[in-house]
């Protein structure tokens, strides 16, 4: 067995974006182009065995074998849905497991990636939130989901050399990505890197429940497409659905969104809105929403698209999904106001892979679970007849 100090010094190269890998290689006396070759082996070819990296000198391969590993995630299980969606569950140690979901469509392959084991935000309608929070994932664990999925799918789908399985990544799995900012940003950079996965900024989306200061930082460090989970047109209601609204109310959130657009790769923010029966789905609330995003409620106007997500129920939520006709009527009000609005198709429902159903296995190290399993207090909606 290796002595502890030696074992601890071994670096998992999945943790390093190209800049960090270059610095790490420099410390081994290697030039940048060697770091690029190594990075390409790992991320473009999915190679984890230094011995097989044929264009690297034997001396470098030996140095790598002594100082580093490419340590992928441990796969616990896979479930495939009738609609082609695949959900993988990965063991991340100490009783925690996280999920990634592949969603194939005719023109794209999207991977939904987790950023934390659990989530500390505790939104009332979210299965992950109900589980509580265990820990942040490392960069290697975040990008490792893409590493696994891309290389596994290339073989499984028998893709030709150079063909990619995954064209889009959405940080919409378990966890609040902006509460794990330091691990997230290098992982995003690896996704975007031409020597890595080469995804365009428009095809990598960070979804956040509204971490205002971190939205501003992301715009400086790594502007990718941004989705914001809005779910309510007023602070009174959002305070109850998304607890961090009490700290970062809607006017601050919309201000951060409008600043973000100055450096974003797209000229709109996607607002996600989970449709909850009798809670946030009335005509009056749709009109409030229009007023909010068009700058009539004190917050700045934010060019946006709406993505209405039918609520995916899970045991203990105490909530139900708005009826289909209600969702469509709500969408029509937004559309009539000139806002592009889509109703998200639910994918992978038969394998609990739909939005908000990802629950993995999380050791709740917070009191979130206790708080959220208290009997649900009916949330007061605006009167449906209100103008
Ligand atoms: N924490 C981030 C990203 C993960 S959640 C966020 O909140 O944005 C991804 C999306 O699924 C969010 O828009 C979230 O609000 C939504 N969601 C959570 N639970 C859901 C449920 N039970 N049904 C439908 N959508 C849900
Ligand atoms: Fe966390 Fe997002 Fe779920 Fe809210 S919706 S509890 S922020 S994962």
> What digits encode the pLDDT tens for the residues 43-86?
999 999 999 999 999 999 999 999 999 999 999 999 999 999 99
Q: Which ligand is nearest to the CA of 347?
A: 1
pTM of the predicted protein model: 0.92
Residue with tokens 């009000």: 333
Three-state SS for 74-124 is EEEEEEECCCCCEEEEEECCCCCEEEEEEEEECCEEEEECCCEEECCCCCC
Q: How confident is the model at residue 355 (pLDDT cuts 50, 70, 90)?
A: low
Please return the burial class of 353, using the count of CB atoms within 10 Å of its CB with bins 0-12, 13-18 and 19+.
buried
Q: How confident is the model at residue 3 (pLDDT cuts 50, 70, 90)?
A: very low
Q: Could you list the active site residues?
A: 99, 355
pLDDT at 6: 46
Distance 207 CA to ligand 2 centre (A): 10
Residue with tokens 């939904």: 112
Beta bridge partners of 137: none
Q: How confident is the model at residue 37 (pLDDT cuts 50, 70, 90)?
A: very high
Mean pLDDT of 21-40: 97
pLDDT tens string 140-151 = 999 999 999 999
Pocket test for ligand 2, best of 119, 136, 211 (most atoms within 8 A of CB): 119
Please tell me if the CB atom of residue 229 comes closer than 6 angstroms to any atom of ligand 1: yes
- Report the chain's mean pLDDT, rounded to a whole number: 91
Whether the pLDDT of residue 119 is over 60: the answer is yes
Please tell me if the CB atom of residue 272 comes closer than 6 angstroms to any atom of ligand 1: yes
Q: What is the DSSP letter of 63?
A: H
Whether the pLDDT of residue 368 is over 90: the answer is no
pLDDT at 362: 80
**Is residue 176 a contact partner of residue 136, using CB atoms and an 8 Å limit?**
no
Q: Where does 209-323 have alpha helices with state H?
A: 212-221, 235-241, 250-260, 283-293
**Is residue 170 a contact partner of residue 110, using CB atoms and an 8 Å limit?**
yes
Show Cβ contacts of residue 90 under 8 Å, excluding neighbours closer than 6 positions: 73, 74, 75, 76, 97, 98, 99, 100, 141, 144, 145, 148
Q: Which tops the pLDDT comparison, 142 or 366?
A: 142
């Amino acid at each position: 067995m290796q002595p502890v100090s030696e074992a601890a010094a071994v670096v998992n190269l999945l943790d390093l974006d190209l800049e960090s890998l270059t610095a790490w290689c420099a410390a081994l006396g290697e030039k940048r182009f060697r770091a690029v070759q190594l990075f390409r082996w790992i991320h473009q070819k999915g190679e984890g065995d230094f011995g097989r990296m044929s264009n690297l000198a034997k001396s470098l391969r030996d140095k790598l074998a002594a100082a580093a590993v490419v340590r992928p995630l441990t796969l616990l299980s896979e479930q495939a849905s009738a609609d082609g969606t695949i959900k993988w569950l990965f063991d991340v140690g100490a009783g925690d497991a996280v999920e990634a979901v592949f969603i194939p469509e005719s023109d794209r392959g999207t991977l939904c990636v987790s950023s934390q084991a659990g989530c500390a935000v505790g939104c009332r309608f979210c299965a992950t939130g109900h589980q509580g929070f265990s820990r942040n994932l490392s960069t290697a664990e975040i990008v490792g989901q893409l590493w696994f999925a891309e290389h596994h799918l290339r073989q499984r789908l028998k893709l030709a050399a150079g063909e990619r399985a995954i064209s889009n990544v959405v940080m919409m799995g378990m966890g609040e990505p902006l509460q794990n900012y330091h691990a997230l940003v290098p992982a995003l950079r690896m996704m975007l890197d031409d020597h890595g996965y080469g995804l365009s900024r428009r095809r990598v989306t960070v979804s956040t429940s509204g971490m205002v200061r971190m939205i501003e930082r992301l715009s400086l460090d790594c502007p990718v497409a941004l989705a914001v989970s809005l779910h309510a047109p007023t602070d009174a209601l959002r305070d109850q659905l998304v607890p961090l609204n009490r700290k970062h109310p809607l006017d601050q959130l919309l201000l951060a969104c409008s600043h973000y657009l100055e450096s974003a790769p797209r000229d709109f923010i996607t607002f996600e809105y989970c449709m909850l029966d009798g809670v946030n789905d009335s005509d009056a609330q749709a009109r409030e929403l229009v007023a909010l995003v068009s700058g009539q409620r004190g917050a700045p106007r934010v060019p946006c698209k709406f993505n209405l997500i039918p609520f995916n129920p899970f045991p203990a939520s105490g909530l139900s999904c708005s009826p289909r006709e209600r969702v469509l009527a709500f969408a029509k009000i937004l559309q009539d106001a000139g806002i592009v609005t889509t109703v998200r198709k639910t994918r992978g429902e038969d394998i609990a892979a739909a939005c908000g159903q990802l629950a993995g296995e999380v050791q709740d190290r917070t009191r979130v679970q206790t708080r959220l399993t208290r009997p649900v207090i009916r949330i007061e909606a605006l009167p449906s007849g209100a103008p």
